[in-house]
Amino acid sequence: MKTESTVNPFNGYVAIVILILAAGLLAFGIVTQSVGLIIASALVIILIAKGLIIVSPNSSKVLLLFGKYRGSVKQNGLFWINPLFTRFTYSLRARNFESEKIKVNDKMGNPILISVILVWRVRDTFKVAFEVDNYSAFIKIQSDSAVRKLAGSFPYDHFEDETATVTLSTNFDDVNRALENELAERLEIAGIEVIESRIGYLAYAPEIAHSMLRRQQASAVVAARHKIVEGAVGMVESALKLLSEKHIIEFDEDKKAAMVSNLMVVLCGDSETKPVINTGTLNQ
């Protein structure tokens, strides 16, 4: 596969000096009515003027001579080249691309919405000009394809696959690195350098978003309840131990069970408890 070659064009300021001298000769030929001088100086002016090019910073010129690639100019400034060259201008600046949100399935088959943000620039002007038909459209299509492959390689989160080491919603660095490698490989043919790529948007598709939210809420409630019960058991155990060590009250098994039940209700209940005052004995 052919790649770009850099050419060093002739200094444009020297060409400007020659152009001014040719213009002076043309004026002199007109005054002296010298046909040969007029024709020669006019040809020089046309060739010099047609061959002048200006290359801006972070820009390039791709040069063709009768359909054959002759090289690329990446230096910035004023230059003179063969006036028969056909020229194409390509920007070398870094550019952003944000894909549309597309619906894909993750590794577990759940529909999700995802988009990618890509920072890229032209690295090889020959490949950009001749290896692909439209490099902007090529970037868009390949980005969508890479995102689909990425989404199908990882689960959305650990709820569906608890053994997964990498998920789309948690391991951002690993996921973005995998996306960047995939895009760099796909865009290499077009001479595009991937500077950075990352997930721009990630969410469950609307048809399952509500169910997934309820599942996450339920999991959070279960985890919170487990923590509350664990703490309550420790508090009850500490209370019984302290009462026994200080000989404040002696409990038989029935009274101990009743006290444990009451404490667990107080500590684990959702609503505020209302105490009942017993003015008699403990047996009443």
CATH number at residue 200: 3.30.479.30
Q: Are residues 198 and 100 in the same domain?
A: yes
From the list 137, 138, 150, the residue with the least C-alpha distance to 182 is: 150
Angle in degrees, CA 53, 55, 60, rounded to 5: 115
Residue 284: what pLDDT?
A: 47
pLDDT digits 0-9 by tens, 17-65 = 999 999 999 888 888 888 888 999 999 999 999 999 999 999 999 999 9
* Residues with Cβ within 8 Å of residue 148, at least 6 apart in sequence: 102, 104
Q: Are residues 34 and 74 in the same domain?
A: yes
pLDDT digits 0-9 by tens, 197-241 = 998 888 888 776 566 666 666 566 666 666 766 776 777 777 767
118 in any annotated domain:
yes
114 in any annotated domain:
yes
Q: Are residues 259 and 189 in the same domain?
A: no
Q: Are residues 86 and 28 in the same domain?
A: yes
45 in any annotated domain:
yes
For the residues of 120-179, what is the DSSP string, one character each?
EEE--HHHHHHTSS-HHHHHHHHHHHHHHHHHTTS-SSTTT-TT-S--TTT-HHHHHHHH
Domain edge (last residue) among 90, 108, 133: 90
Residue 155: what pLDDT?
A: 86
Residue 152: what pLDDT?
A: 87
Residue 278: what pLDDT?
A: 56
Q: Are residues 141 and 235 in the same domain?
A: no
Question: Taking all residues of the chain, what is their mean pLDDT, rounded to a whole number?
Answer: 82
Q: Are residues 125 and 186 in the same domain?
A: yes
59 in any annotated domain:
yes
Q: Are 121 and 195 in contact (CB under 8 A)?
A: yes
Is 50 exceeded by the pLDDT of residue 186?
A: yes
Q: Which domain holds residue 136?
A: 95-204
Q: Is 211 left (phi over 0), alpha (psi -120 to 50) or beta?
A: alpha
| Total count of domains within the chain | 3
SS3 239: helix
170 in any annotated domain:
yes
Q: Are residues 133 and 80 in the same domain?
A: no
- The first and second tokens of residue 117, run together, are 């943000």
Residue 29: what pLDDT?
A: 87
